[in-house]
Structure 1
Amino acid sequence: MRSRAIAAAFLAVGIGLAGCAASGDSAEPSTPPTLTATQAPTPTPTPTPTPLTPGEQAAQQVARMTIAEQAALVVMGTAPGTDAAALADYVSVGPDGLILMGGNVPATPDELRGLTDTVHAASDQALIAIDQEGGDVRRMPWDELASSYELKTAAPAETQAAFAARAGLLAAAGVDINFGIVADVPRTQDSFIFGRSYGTDPQAVADRVAAAVAGERGVVASTLKHFPGHGAAEGDSHSAIPTSAQTLAEWRTFDAIPFEAGIDAGAELVMTGHLRFPSIAAEPASLSPEWYRILREDLGFDGVAVTDDLGMLGSSGEVAYADPVANSVAAIAAGADLVLMIAGSTPETAGQIITALEQRASTDATFAERLAEAASRVLMLKSTL
């Protein structure tokens, strides 16, 4: 604390001098001055420090990390089985992110909670995600809540209720993130994604997407998928890179609507799909700087951008995307904050991705800044859970 000197000034009043004493008399002492202390100056208050925002706190924490620790934050992978100790080892020495697939889910909710508690204890930064849309796409078989099959023709309030209950199941199981809200708008009922969507009308889909986010809000982190829209780019992205001839203006008036609604409702994550819109970008959206720019600047999203499973790109047949490690580095460079690796991967793949990210950041200052930004967003998400 800064030291302060406090000065006091005194004013002499009525100082009388004694007259000469008679010969032989003792001299009387002078009358002491009457002093009045002036009021001390008011101390200058110590300024109260401005609290750091969550983003600033995350950035400071990331700045204290090694590059390898930052890289581990932005990778989410998977390992086989329901052995809690093995999955805990996976996050303690490799990525901080773990996605639970069907083979990772034990028979009962209590067993799953024991598994997730063990994983969380292994790493302070561990994030556990799951695909729990309901219906055909669910990893926890005891989730019998309404899915898109029923909800696409029900009132949005029923979607909110279903996802609020689903979020409760996930939170009880120790899951942090649900990759569960499909914001795609298929054009017809014959679409690959129709069974998982909330209909073919963009506003109707938007209403249900926003309701699903509201239902999960504050319980688990919500994810919108598959940006910029599987409905526009027909085909199965597990085995190809679906392509759309849409222009950006056309996209803004149709497929963008549910994503905007979900972002405005507070979704914490958006999952980018392996979808190509040649009039907008040559790369699939998951690897496209332009699509990440659109997501941030045009739609105002400031949360975590996570890729769809990058292993899927390897099944597309396009040689440029055959290497999942290279795909992961390209995704972070483009603007992704979290890279997801499942198909075709081994427990070692995530470690290889972390090493590649570290090597690139060690020699490329611009990439190092991008990695730190991505890690800060992931860490800020973690702090809110």
Structure 2
Amino acid sequence: MENRRRGRTASALALAAVMGFFVSSAATASAVGAPSTSGIPESTVSTSGSELLTARAKARVQEMTVAEQAATVVMGHVAGTDPSALRSYMESGLGGFILMGANIPATEAELQALTAALTVDPGLPPLIAVDQEGGFVSRLHGDGFPASLSLKGLPVAETSAAFTARGSLVARAGITVNFGTVADYTDDPGSFIHGRALGTDPAAAAERVAAATVAQEQFVASTLKHFPGHGAAPGDSHHAIPSTTMGIEEWRATAAVPFAAGIDAGASLLMYGHLAYAAVDPLPASLSPRWHEIARDELGFTGVAVTDDLGMLLSSGDPAYADPVTNAVAAIAAGNDLVLMIAGSDAQTAGSMVAGIAAAAEAGTLPPERLEEAATRVVALRMQTAAATARWSICDDCEPVG
């Protein structure tokens, strides 16, 4: 055991050095305390480090075939807790895997073995994700930390503490991405998102979203969801495509505020919801080029844009979204960098999506440069999370804070 620990530590140090993952002292200081509500937290990656990471990712992507680029922009899912079966699934080169409840074994040690098995190429581990919001949406055992239902009524420091502990728990399991920060807000107790939102008004939600982001980015790549905001669009996107007539100016003053705060706080990913702001674009935001432009150009988001589960589009019953491969190609073309498929997914689904994306790029119906851009962002995040995991794995006995 001691020799294995020394070997893992040495490998972790080497990987961290190779990746060039630079953390500023200012960002570290802000991460361990409650985030300031009077300014924008420092980025956790220095400008020079970010540029170097992007250059390395771009070089890696340019060495890939079109099929390999297509695979890296797909995050797949199949049920089961057999590490060998899940490893076999990942041998196709998928860029990520999302763990759902049916993937979580009884013990943390078993979960660590399972997440380790998902890495086929140690030089470029996949993104391993989970929905660990706490409270109503929890996949992992041992998360008894406060969640949104209570945090929205507590001081912001309580959100920092809870998500520091939650981020630690997620990282200890070998998971590198948490789809755990709900940036939607609503004051309607009847809304399906009310119990998962961190606030009931823009300012309160923004403070807590920023706090949750800074806290988690110490450990994992955190995600803001469900852009551009479920609170204004009544209905549950698991069963339909909610719609609102809210215009862009009202959106900027309301629903946008928590997302802007989370982006400024350094969130690594932005998840696009299957909901429509009809006055801005009648398409669901997940398939809308306009909403991707807004996030990039107006809010300054530079990270990985990811769809919510594309299986939800199928579940909406709208015949326009009945084909998961067509949805995947449209999502990448719209500006997403990573497509996620859970509901209705089986062992063949991700492969079909990869083949469809590659075929579209080769035919020119999906601009090849758009696929390369998406793959570069995903590979950069894979490199970044690999380096962060290397630093984390040096500590065998780390415990959650709080």
Q: For this structure pair, what is the TM-score category when the shorter chain's length is used for normalisation?
A: 0.7 to 0.9
Q: CA deviation at 1:121?
A: 4.1
Q: Which residue is 1:342 aligned to?
A: 342
Aligned equivalent of 1:226:
226
Q: Counterpart in 2 of 1:194?
A: 194
1:285-309, Cα deviation, whole Å (9 max, x unpaired): 0000000000100100000000000
Displacement after TM superposition at 1:103 (Å) = 0.5
Write the distance in 1 (CA, Å) between the matches of 2:342 and 2:121.
21
TM-superposed CA distance for 1:96, in Å, is: 2.6
* Distance apart, 1:122 and its partner CA: 5.2
For residues 149-191 of structure 1, give each alpha carbon's deviation from its aligned partner in whole angstroms, at most 9, with x where no partner exists: 1111111111111111111111110001000000001141111
Which amino acid is 2:181 matched to?
I
Deviation at 1:130, TM superposition (A): 0.2
CA distance in 1, matches of 2:86, 2:160: 32
Q: In the aligned structure 2, how far is the partner of 1:247 from the partner of 1:56?
A: 38
Give the match for residue 90 of structure 2. Answer: 91
Q: What's the offset of the Cα at 1:234? A: 1.2
Give, in whole Å, the separation in 1 of the partners of 2:302 and 2:62: 20
Q: 2:61 maps to which residue?
A: 62
Amino acid at match of 1:162: A
Residue 310 of structure 2 corresponds to 310
The CA distance in 1 between the partners of 2:231 and 2:368, in whole Å, is 35
Asked whether the 8 Å contact 1:75–1:95 carries over to 2, the reply is: yes
- C-alpha separation between the residues in 1 aligned to 2:240 and 2:86? 31
Whether 1:160 and 2:160 are equivalent positions in the alignment is yes
Question: Is 2:75 the partner of 1:76?
Answer: yes
Distance 2:338 2:192 in 1: 26
2:28 is aligned to none
- Residue 288 of structure 2 aligns with which residue? 288
Q: Which residue of 2 aligns with 1:105?
A: 104
In the alignment, is the contact (CA less than 8 A) between 1:94 and 1:351 conserved in 2? no
Pair 1:212 & 2:212 matched: yes
Whole-angstrom distance in 1 between the partners of 2:180 and 2:54: 25
Using structure 2 for the length normalisation, give the TM-score. Answer: 0.82
The answer as to whether partners of 2:185 and 2:229 remain within 8 angstroms in 1 is yes
Contact 1:73–1:125 under 8 Å retained in 2: no
Q: Which has the higher contact order (CA 8 A, sep 6+)?
A: 2
What residue is the counterpart of 1:41 in the other structure?
Answer: none
> Match for residue 27 of structure 1?
none
| CA offset digits 1:17-47 (Å, max 9, x no partner) | xxxxxxxxxxxxxxxxxxxxxxxxxxxxxxx
The farther-off stretch of 362-371 and 225-234 is 362-371
Higher helix share: 2
CA contact under 8 A between 2:68 and 2:93: conserved in structure 1? no
Distance 1:56 1:189 in 2: 46
Distance in 2, Cα, partners of 1:143 & 1:198: 17
User: Structure 1, residues 313-349: CA drift from partner, whole Å, max 9, x if none?
Assistant: 0111211111111000000000000000000121210
Task: Decide which moves more: 269-278 or 117-126.
Answer: 117-126
The alpha-carbon deviation at position 259 of structure 1 amounts to 0.1
Tell me which residue corresponds to 2:238. 238
Residue 321 of structure 1 corresponds to 321
Alpha-carbon shift at residue 365 of structure 1 (Å): 7.6
In the alignment, the residues of structure 1 paired with residue 94 and residue 102 of structure 2 have an alpha-carbon distance, to the nearest angstrom, of 19
**Residue ranges of structure 2 left out of the alignment (5+ in a row):** 1-47, 386-402
Letter in 2 for 1:231: G
**Aligned-residue CA RMSD in angstroms?**
1.4
SS of residue matched to 2:244? coil
Q: Partner of 1:268 in structure 2?
A: 268
Q: Give the letter for the 2:158 counterpart.
A: E
Question: Is contact 2:360-2:366 (8 Å) kept?
Answer: no
TM-score (norm 1): 0.85
Q: Determine the C-alpha separation between the residues in 1 that align with 2:171 and 2:90.
A: 20
Give 3-state SS (helix, strand or coil) of 1:138's partner: coil
Offset of residue 94 of structure 1: 4.8
Equivalent residues of 1:120, 1:127 under 8 A apart? no
How many angstroms does 1:210 deviate by?
0.2
For the residues of structure 2 that align with 1:316 and 1:83, how far apart are their CA atoms?
Answer: 31
Distance in 1 (CA, whole Å) between partners of 2:95 and 2:246 is 37
